[in-house]
Amino acid sequence: MMATTLAPETPDSPKTGDRTPVFSVRDMWKVFGPKADRVPGSPDAELSAADLRARTGCTAAVRDVSFDVEPGEVFVVMGLSGSGKSTLVRCLTRLIEPTSGTLKIDGEDVMAMDKARLRDLRRHRAAMVFQHFGLLPHRSVLDNIAYGLEIQGMGKAERRAKAAEMVEKVGLTGLERRRPGQLSGGQQQRVGLARALAVDPEVLLFDEPFSALDPLIRRDMQEEVIRLHHEERRTMVFITHDLSEALRLGDRIMLMRDGGIVQIGTPEEIVGSPADEYVRDFVRDVPREQVLTVRRAMRPAKSDEEDGGPALTPGTTVADAIEAVARSGGPARVVDGGRCLGVVDHACLLSVVAGLDGKEAAAA
């Protein structure tokens, strides 16, 4: 069994559990190699990746994976190269056929879908944005964006009008007539994004879309995704091997290693309560004060502290709380819906930064 931690509900993260998940994955395996379907459920399934390869010639790219993607969340799949991210996300629309397990979209069994239904799923419900944008070189920006609509059979005038809307949405106004070769990498990725958005899919799947971009443009594109997400609340599954990208974008992060899940949690849970040494190592250099919040740092308020001092929401980062406490010179209250949940002072903020908050703080 893989150790998985499911995120608890918090006021700042999308609610879980009260709606049908967009994707629901259970016990999924994808094994490449000879007689791959014999591996799941057999004693070989317990072997390490290297031993499995040596004994059977098979690679378990996805290993007994179970998780839900909730409506409206940005769900980040993170892991080192070869950990199984791309294979897993391609399995979600059966671009790669899972070897075993169950898979549902909005409660509907994806494994039972016939070819026509699957085509419909990929065209209308789950659009993919790739690292290599796959743009058509001889078509204009506008026609590239309209391409998915053309495949859907939409008439020319209608699809161009829709594409023009998307041009504006992703900040490409003025570039509609250009060919992809006349655009920068970041602009080309915006075209890829606009093309995926144009079909108005329920969920966007991003496969390392920004890894070829230089850092400043990458940052721009991340902000674009965050802005779009805030505007539309569209569900997004985002693959990256970059931890800072995962922390910036993810409502929840699923960390993979050797095809399995090591931990699923909010950025705060991953950084603040790593599931094991592997995760701890992964997050070692993360500036904790920028990810952890006062929810984790606070202590109970004494009776004379409940009314005075600055008020912070529970989602305030420790970095912002340090500034508030330094300015006021005294403790700050953590207030939610008019109720004082606790206070943060110099000592508790410092212990979070120093990584001394540990289990007692989480329990409190």
Interface positions with ligand ATP (CB under 6 A): 32, 59, 61, 79, 81-87, 241
Measured from the CB atom, the residue of 90 and 159 that comes closer to ligand ATP is 90
Measured from the CB atom, the residue of 86 and 235 that comes closer to ligand ATP is 86
- Minimum separation from the CB atom of position 195 to ligand ATP (A): 22
Measured from the CB atom, the residue of 130 and 299 that comes closer to ligand ATP is 130
- Minimum separation from the CB atom of position 40 to ligand ATP (A): 15
- Minimum separation from the CB atom of position 126 to ligand ATP (A): 18
- Minimum separation from the CB atom of position 244 to ligand ATP (A): 16
Q: Which amino acid is located at 57 in the chain?
A: G
Q: For the stretch 212-227, what's the b/e string if a residue is b when 16 or more beta carbons lie within 10 angstroms of its beta carbon? A: ebeeebbebbbebbee
- CA–CA–CA angle 83, 84, 88 (5° rounding): 155
Measured from the CB atom, the residue of 67 and 147 that comes closer to ligand ATP is 67
Residues 6+ apart with CB under 8 A from 185: 212, 213, 214, 217
Measured from the CB atom, the residue of 82 and 310 that comes closer to ligand ATP is 82
- Minimum separation from the CB atom of position 283 to ligand ATP (A): 18
Query: Would you state the structure tokens that stand for residue 296, as one six-digit string?
Result: 């984790």
The answer to whether the beta carbons of residues 65 and 261 sit under 8 Å apart is yes
- Minimum separation from the CB atom of position 323 to ligand ATP (A): 37
Hey, which residues does 69 pair with through a beta bridge?
Answer: 23
Which one, of 106, 110, 82, 108, lies nearest residue 98 by Cα?
110
Query: Would you state the structure tokens that stand for residue 280, as one six-digit string?
Result: 């701890």
Measured from the CB atom, the residue of 253 and 322 that comes closer to ligand ATP is 253
Q: For the stretch 327-351, what's the b/e string if a residue is b when 16 or more beta carbons lie within 10 angstroms of its beta carbon? A: eeeebbbbbeeeebbbbbbeebbee
SS3 234: coil
